[in-house]
């Protein structure tokens, strides 16, 4: 599905490239050159990309209010947690468990939306659309409003924003009572897929990951290889790493 383009020059600075996995999280896997190594599914050769590259982004798949609102709040909470883990945190508090769950849900649901964008939605029930100009539509979205076009349709990205928000609530309820654990690699490094799907794992750095229902532990190179193989099997489009030579597969 082709995303709706903005006006020339994008005067309201609406988000067009939207990271599925946050740029800050990708950057933790970057090498000394500031780039990560990426292997596309079905290809054996790795290529280098910066964390801001479009390969990591959906294209205007959800609305502006979601992008800079609840999604950013969830990302910020998790980035604070990731910094603490990177500095040596070895056990999560209940609030940190919640932050990890909400972030995992956000990542997984955005990956689904990127892979299968939501089309424009017909609106029924007596609600009438308006003949908004393109400029008016973009101004409304910038202000956090939802609008209905004169053809009685609503842009699919608005529905996507609501769908992700409701999905996060559902995953949070599903994971209630279960704990995320900090898992460290004794040898070798983790790869990160574009999504783990239903497998509750969250790579934090090349040598640290959060796993749901695991034990806080340091795992062997063989176990790291097992997780990396799962990541490769579950990835839809790509996996990335700091250096694939250091990642057992």
Q: Where are the domains of the chain?
A: 17-120+155-246
Q: Rounded distance, CA 183 to CA 215, Å? A: 7
pLDDT tens, position by position, 37-73: 999 998 889 999 999 999 999 999 999 999 999 999 9
**pLDDT at residue 215 in the model:** 81
Residue 150 has pLDDT above 80, yes or no: yes
Q: Rounded distance, CA 204 to CA 86, Å? A: 8
**pLDDT at residue 28 in the model:** 97
**pLDDT at residue 130 in the model:** 84
Q: What is the mean pLDDT of residues 194-211?
A: 94
**pTM of the shown model:** 0.95
**Given pLDDT bands bounded at 50, 70 and 90, which one contains residue 7?**
very high
> SS3 for the chain, per residue?
CCCCCCCCCCCCCCCCEEECCCHHHHHCCCCCCCCEEEEECCCCCCEEECCCCHHHEEECCCCHHHHHCHHHHHHHHHHHHHHHHHCCCCCCCHHHHHHHHHHHHHHHHHHHHHHCCCCCEECCCCCCCECCCHHHHHHHHHCCCCCCECCCEECHHHHHHHHHHHHHHHHHHHCCCCCEEEEEECCCCCCEECCCCCCCEEEEECCEEEEECCCCEEECHHHHHHHHHHHHHHCCCEEEECCHHHCCC
Average pLDDT in the chain: 95
Q: What are phi and psi of 89, to 5 degrees?
A: -55, 135
The two three-digit tokens of residue 169, written as one number: 């609530």
Q: Rounded distance, CA 112 to CA 171, Å? A: 14
**pLDDT at residue 243 in the model:** 96
Q: Rounded distance, CA 194 to CA 240, Å? A: 8
**Given pLDDT bands bounded at 50, 70 and 90, which one contains residue 236?**
very high
Residue 114, number of CB atoms within 10 A of its CB: 22
Pairing of β 217-219 and β 180-185? parallel
pLDDT tens, position by position, 164-189: 999 999 999 999 989 999 999 999 99
In the chain, % of residues over pLDDT 90: 89
**pLDDT at residue 127 in the model:** 78
pLDDT tens, position by position, 64-122: 999 999 999 999 999 999 999 999 998 899 999 999 999 999 999 999 999 999 999 99
């Amino acid at each position: 599905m082709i995303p709706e383009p903005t006006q020339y020059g994008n005067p309201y600075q609406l988000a067009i490239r939207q990271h599925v996995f946050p740029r800050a999280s990708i950057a933790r896997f970057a090498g000394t050159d500031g780039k990560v190594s990426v292997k596309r599914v079905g290809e054996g050769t790795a290529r280098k990309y910066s964390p801001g590259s479009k390969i990591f982004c959906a294209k205007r798949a959800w609305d502006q209010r979601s992008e800079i609102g609840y999604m950013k709040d969830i990302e910020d909470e998790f980035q604070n947690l990731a910094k603490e883990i990177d500095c040596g945190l070895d056990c999560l508090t209940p609030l940190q468990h919640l932050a990890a769950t909400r972030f995992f849900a956000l990542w997984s649901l955005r990956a689904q939306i990127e892979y299968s964008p939501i089309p424009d939605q017909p609106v029924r029930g007596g609600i009438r659309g308006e003949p908004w100009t393109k400029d008016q539509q973009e101004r409304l979205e910038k202000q956090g409003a939802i609008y209905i076009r004169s053809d009685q349709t609503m842009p699919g990205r608005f529905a996507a924003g609501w769908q992700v928000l409701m999905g996060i609530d559902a995953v949070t309820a599903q994971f209630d009572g279960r704990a995320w654990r900090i898992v460290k690699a004794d040898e070798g490094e983790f790869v990160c897929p574009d999504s783990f799907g239903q497998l509750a794992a969250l790579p934090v750095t090349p040598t640290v990951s959060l796993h749901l229902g695991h034990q806080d532990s340091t795992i062997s190179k063989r176990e790291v290889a097992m997780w990396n193989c799962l990541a490769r099997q579950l990835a839809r489009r790509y996996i990335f790493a700091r250096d694939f030579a250091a990642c057992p597969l």
